[in-house]
Structure formats: C-alpha cells, structure tokens
C-alpha cells in the first residue's frame, strides 16, 4: 500500500513538472529542436526550473516506491500523471474543475485498476545478470534510436508522438536501473556509489529528460501526454518480467489486461481532446519568449 501511495504522489509531481515545463518549452523556436540551446534557454526561466524541482521530487518518490515494489506495479501507477495534469491545468484561472473531462478521467482510472488487478504483480526481485542487462539496454537504446530517427524526418504531431514514446521507453529503462540501485541501499551507501547502474541511471535519466523537452517543444500535450501515459507501463512491464523475473498473470488474464490497456488508451484520448489542453497550447504560444 505504501508503494502505491508513493507511486501516485510521483505521478502527481510528474504532472506538475509537465505543466510548468510545457508553458515555457513551447515558446522556444523550432530551430532549437535536438540542440543543447533548448536547455540553455530554459535555464533562464524560473517556471522551467520549478518544473525541474517537481521532476526531482517525482524521481525521489518513484525511487522510494521501487525500493518496496517492482516495475510492474510502480510504473503503471505513474499513469495517474495524466488526470493530475488535467486538474492542474483546470486550476489555472480563468478555468475551473467543472471543465475537467471527468468521464475520461474515470475511464483511465478504471483501465489502470483493471490492468493492475489482471496483472497481479508479485514482488519477486531477481538481480539481472550481465547478459540480461546487455540485451535489455541494447534493445531499449536501439528502439529509442529508431524512434528518434523517424522523428528527425517529420514535423508536427507525429514527431511529438514519436518523441513521447521514445521518452517513455527511456524513462522505463531509467526505472530499471533505479530498481537495482535502490536495492543496494540495503548493503550500505558504498555499494550504491560503486554500482555502474547508478551512473547508467543518471545518463539514461538525463537523456530521457532531454527527449521530453524536445517532445514538449515539438507538439501539444494533446499529442505528447497520451504517448507518455501508454508507453511507459508497457515498456516497464516487459523490462520487469524480463530483467527482474517479476511474476504477472498470463494465459486467460491477457484478455482483461488488454482491456485495461484499451481503457487506459481511451481515457488518454478523451483527456487529450479536452478543450483545456487546447487552451493550454494557446496560452503557451502566447507567452513571450
């Protein structure tokens, strides 16, 4: 239960970071895409730095949750970020909570509940071997590289979606490294700082953060947020089962699991179509650079 609460709080912190950063990043010129200049420009904005603070809080909460439970439980729960994003946007004047698409929020929440009930993830952590890490890391990096290559060739919402998916896959790998690092705290602080996973986690996290800024700069939350919401649980469950031997139910349970994912997707699409997100896009564009 504690892991669930920590994961939900991490999702809320991620939502706050998304809203704050989105309002600043969208003002950046398109020529800054995939360039360090994008980050350098953002460092001048207190609002963007506030978003980074929220991301750090989310990182700490997520790490605490992963020290108790596995990827297959914690990462899907981060999907609550999307409803929290809508509520935060609605709180900004002159809007109101009545304008939140509550039906879509309930649909997404129901999908998350169905998915986790069907998966019934069990805490069966097994330290991955060298071969497992090599395969998982190479496969994830190859997937992200392919998505970035496609995004490089196109513009508009399609680029934002591809970068959103690549960001989620990158954060799923970051969480996998984090899962191992948090377990090493049981042996003391020394094993943590001598663990290569700590530095791989930092590298993967920074790379994913850079991808996130490019995703937010490339398109509206309408395109980016559903991609982030759906891709992370899928990638995390695959990594959790493959790397850490986490037990999830298969066989006939695949049908309700697929139904849960479908409800998650429908809820995400419903939220993405909300006028609130379109208005947030207009507010971001109207802000001076």
pLDDT of 48 reads: 78
Rg for the chain, CA atoms, rounded: 18
- Total-model pTM: 0.77
Q: Is pLDDT above 60 for 284?
A: no
Judge if the upstream peptide bond of residue 103 is cis by omega within 30 degrees of 0: no
pLDDT tens digit sequence for 132-191: 999 999 999 999 999 999 988 887 778 888 898 999 999 999 999 999 998 888 788 888
Half-sphere exposure of 116 (CA within 13 A, CB side): 18
Alpha-carbon distance 250 to 243, whole Å?
A: 17
pLDDT of 288 reads: 37
Structure-derived torsion over alpha carbons of residues 267, 179, 148, 146, reported in degrees to the nearest 10 = -100
CB 80 within 8 A of CB 12: yes
pLDDT tens digit sequence for 5-63: 999 999 999 888 878 877 666 665 555 555 666 666 666 678 778 888 998 999 899 98
pLDDT tens digit sequence for 185-233: 878 888 888 999 999 999 999 999 888 888 877 776 667 777 877 888 8
For helices 196-218 and 157-184, give the axis angle rounded to 10 degrees. 160
DSSP H helices in the chain: 2-25, 36-42, 46-66, 71-77, 81-91, 102-119, 130-153, 157-184, 189-193, 196-218, 221-244, 254-272, 275-286
pLDDT of 140 reads: 94
Arithmetic mean of pLDDT, 264-286: 67
Q: Which residue has the higher pLDDT, 258 or 29?
A: 258
pLDDT of 91 reads: 75
pLDDT of 260 reads: 92
Give the start-to-end residue ranges of the domains of the chain: 2-286
Q: Is pLDDT above 80 for 4?
A: yes
Arithmetic mean of pLDDT, 116-131: 84
**Vertex 251: Cα angle to 245 and 254 (nearest 5):** 90
Q: Which residue has the higher pLDDT, 226 or 260?
A: 260
Residue 104: band (very low, low, confident or very high) from pLDDT cuts 50, 70, 90: confident
pLDDT of 98 reads: 64
Q: Which residue has the higher pLDDT, 107 or 271?
A: 107
What are 247's strand-pairing partners?
A: 122
How many Cβ atoms sit within 10 Å of the Cβ of residue 287? 12
Residue 131: band (very low, low, confident or very high) from pLDDT cuts 50, 70, 90: very high
pLDDT of 12 reads: 92
Taking CA atoms, 206 is separated from 30, 38, 142, 185, in Å, by: 21, 14, 17, 22
Half-sphere exposure of 76 (CA within 13 A, CB side): 29
pLDDT of 200 reads: 95
pLDDT of 94 reads: 54
Arithmetic mean of pLDDT, 228-250: 87
Question: How long, in residues, is the chain?
Answer: 289
């Amino acid at each position: 239960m504690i892991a669930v609460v920590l994961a939900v709080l991490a999702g809320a912190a991620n939502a706050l970071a998304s809203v704050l950063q989105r309002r600043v990043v969208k003002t950046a010129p398109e020529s800054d895409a995939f360039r360090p200049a994008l980050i350098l420009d953002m460092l001048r904005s207190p609002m963007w730095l506030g978003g980074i603070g929220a991301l750090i809080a989310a990182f700490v909460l997520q790490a605490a949750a992963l020290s108790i439970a596995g990827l297959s439980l914690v990462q899907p729960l981060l999907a609550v970020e999307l409803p929290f994003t809508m509520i935060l946007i609605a709180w900004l004047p002159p809007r109101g909570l009545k304008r939140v698409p509550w039906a879509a929020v309930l649909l997404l929440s129901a999908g998350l509940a169905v998915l986790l009930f069907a998966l019934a993830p069990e805490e069966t952590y097994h330290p991955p071997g060298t071969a497992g890490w090599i395969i998982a890391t190479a496969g994830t990096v190859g997937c992200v590289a392919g998505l970035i290559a496609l995004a490089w060739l196109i513009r508009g919402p399609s680029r934002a979606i591809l970068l959103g998916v690549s960001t989620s896959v990158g954060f799923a790998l970051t969480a996998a490294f984090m899962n191992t690092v948090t377990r090493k705290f049981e042996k003391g602080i020394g094993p943590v700082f001598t663990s290569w996973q700590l530095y791989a986690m930092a590298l993967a996290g920074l790379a994913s953060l850079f991808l996130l800024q490019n995703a937010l700069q490339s398109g509206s939350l309408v395109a980016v947020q559903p991609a982030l919401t759906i891709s992370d649980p899928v990638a995390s469950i695959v990594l959790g089962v493959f790397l850490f031997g986490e037990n999830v139910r298969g066989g006939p349970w695949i049908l309700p699991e697929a139904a849960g994912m479908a409800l998650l997707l429908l809820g995400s699409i419903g939220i993405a179509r909300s006028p609130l997100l379109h208005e947030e896009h207009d507010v971001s564009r109207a802000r001076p650079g």
